[in-house]
């Protein structure tokens, strides 16, 4: 689907608002030359984010288990910036939460907090079930994985990370995160 | 003004030099797996090797292997080895202690990076090890195996 069609859909239906579905936690794998879990700097810069309640190291997934603050808007870009500020890169970002009563359809962007998300593929989900989404935008997965997703999904907005570059409405340039359902 | 500048420079040097070698070492009191609390100062008179680690720290687990290997030699020389884990949770801590066969004193600081023991000792990454002499002064940080044993031999002469 093209960006223009995406925007049209968005303008027509106003996107989908999912204020009742919330991200509760995240699993963030950081990569770098040294052990990311073993560095205070990355822990500290993640902990500093206003929407982060708690950061723990998880030995099983060798990732940071991040608990979000209730009622705060989470921003994947801020997580990424925090990791990079500490001298590391995001290797994987999984967002975990609970669906509300109404489930977002794939192919329609939906809004959570201040951010727009778009499903590139979605497994069958049940109402009120828990979910895990993987963010696959540039800088949220390894370069190799990102290139693979780019060719696999052939989605123009995945290349820009924005909802539209539409000439009719150049004023609308909304950050869009592309997600896959992991669970 | 010039004096102030010189003072500022001196102060800056002093501060930046501080985290690497603290003389004397900052004391702490932390719990063992059994729940007793142990302080560093109670080992005054002995050479102490202090090791900061955590179960989720892969390089620490590798370092544990080397420490297990040299521990009998250290013990024979009367060196006290103390490990401080930054594990938030008790279970993975104890599992790692068992799995890695750490047969020396094990302590844990649940507040991890933000605890006073970690900040006092300027531990910004783990593993981090410190060698403390009989008078309670820090005489080495993150020494490689050969340097560590050499330094210990100097201290116990």
Q: Which residue has the higher pLDDT, B3 or A28?
A: A28
Host domain of residue B131 = 21-156
How many domains, chain A?
1
Mean pLDDT of A131-149: 95
Q: Which residue has the higher pLDDT, B49 or A165?
A: B49
Mean pLDDT of A151-155: 90
Mean pLDDT of B79-105: 97
Mean pLDDT of B145-150: 95
pLDDT at B134 over 90: yes
Q: Phi and psi for B11 in degrees, rounded to 5?
A: -65, -40
Share of chain A above pLDDT 90, in %: 48
Segment A58-98, tens digit of pLDDT? 888 889 999 999 888 899 999 999 999 999 999 999 999 88
Most confident of A84-98, A106-120, A123-137: A84-98
Q: With CB atoms and an 8 Å threshold, state whether B113 touches A43.
A: yes
The predicted pLDDT at position A21 comes to 62
The predicted pLDDT at position A116 comes to 86
Q: Which residues pair with A175 in a beta bridge?
A: A162
B48 touches chain A (CB under 8 A): no
Please report, for the domain that includes residue B123, its CATH number. Answer: 3.40.30.10
Beta strands A176-181 and A115-121: pairing type?
parallel
Segment B54-91, tens digit of pLDDT? 999 999 999 999 999 999 999 999 999 999 999 999 99
Does residue A129 lie within any of the structural domains?
Answer: yes
Alpha-carbon span A152 to A149, nearest angstrom: 5
Does residue B8 lie within any of the structural domains?
Answer: no
Does residue A136 lie within any of the structural domains?
Answer: yes
Does residue B13 lie within any of the structural domains?
Answer: no
How many domains, chain B?
1
Q: With CB atoms and an 8 Å threshold, state whether A38 touches B57.
A: yes
Peptide bond into A135 cis (omega under 30): no
- Concatenated DSSP letters of B118-154: HHHTT--BSSEEEEE-TTS-EEEES--HHHHHHHHHH
Host domain of residue A56 = 3-11+23-174
Minimal-distance CA residue of chain A relative to B59:
A35
Does residue B12 lie within any of the structural domains?
Answer: no
Does residue B28 lie within any of the structural domains?
Answer: yes
Q: Which residue has the higher pLDDT, B31 or A116?
A: B31
Please report, for the domain that includes residue A28, its CATH number. Answer: 3.30.70.100
Does residue B15 lie within any of the structural domains?
Answer: no
Q: With CB atoms and an 8 Å threshold, state whether A59 touches B56.
A: yes
Minimal-distance CA residue of chain A relative to B124:
A40
Alpha-carbon span B112 to B93, nearest angstrom: 12
Does residue A180 lie within any of the structural domains?
Answer: no
Do B60 and A38 meet the contact criterion of CB atoms below 8 Å apart? yes
Q: Which residues contact A131 (CB under 8 A, 6 or more apart)?
A: A96, A97, A98, A99, A125, A181, A183
The predicted pLDDT at position A169 comes to 63
Alpha-carbon span B120 to B27, nearest angstrom: 9
Do A177 and A116 meet the contact criterion of CB atoms below 8 Å apart? yes
The predicted pLDDT at position A97 comes to 87
B54 touches chain A (CB under 8 A): yes
A57 touches chain B (CB under 8 A): yes
């Amino acid at each position: 689907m093209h960006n223009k069609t995406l925007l049209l859909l968005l303008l027509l239906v106003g996107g989908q608002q999912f204020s009742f579905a919330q991200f509760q936690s995240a699993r963030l794998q950081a990569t770098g030359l040294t052990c990311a879990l073993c560095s205070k700097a990355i822990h500290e810069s993640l902990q500093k984010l206003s929407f982060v309640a708690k950061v723990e190291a998880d030995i099983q997934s060798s990732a940071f288990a991040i608990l979000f603050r209730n009622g705060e808007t989470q921003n994947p870009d801020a997580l990424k910036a925090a990791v990079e500020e500490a001298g590391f890169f995001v290797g994987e970002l999984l967002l975990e939460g609970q669906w509300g009563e109404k489930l977002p359809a794939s192919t329609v962007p939906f809004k959570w907090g201040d951010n727009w998300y778009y499903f590139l593929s979605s497994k069958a989900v049940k109402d009120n079930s828990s979910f895990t989404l993987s963010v696959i935008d540039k800088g949220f997965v390894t370069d190799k994985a990102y290139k693979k997703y780019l060719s696999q999904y052939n989605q123009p907005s995945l290349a820009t990370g924005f909802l539209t570059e539409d000439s009719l409405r150049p004023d609308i340039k909304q950050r869009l995160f592309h997600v896959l359902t992991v669970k | 003004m010039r004096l102030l500048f010189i003072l500022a420079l001196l102060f800056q040097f002093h501060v930046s030099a501080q985290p690497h070698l603290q003389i004397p070492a900052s004391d702490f009191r932390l719990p063992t797996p059994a729940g007793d609390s142990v302080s560093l100062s109670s080992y005054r008179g002995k050479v102490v090797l202090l090791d900061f680690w955590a179960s989720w720290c892969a390089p620490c687990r590798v370092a544990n292997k080397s420490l297990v290997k040299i521990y009998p030699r250290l013990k024979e020389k009367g060196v006290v080895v103390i490990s401080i884990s930054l594990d938030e949770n008790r279970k993975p801590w104890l599992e790692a202690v068992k799995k890695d066969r750490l047969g020396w004193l094990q302590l844990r600081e649940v507040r991890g990076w933000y605890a006073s023991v970690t900040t006092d000792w300027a531990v910004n990454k783990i593993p981090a090890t410190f060698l403390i002499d009989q008078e309670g002064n820090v005489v080495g940080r993150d020494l490689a195996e050969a340097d560590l044993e050499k330094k210990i031999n100097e201290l116990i002469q």
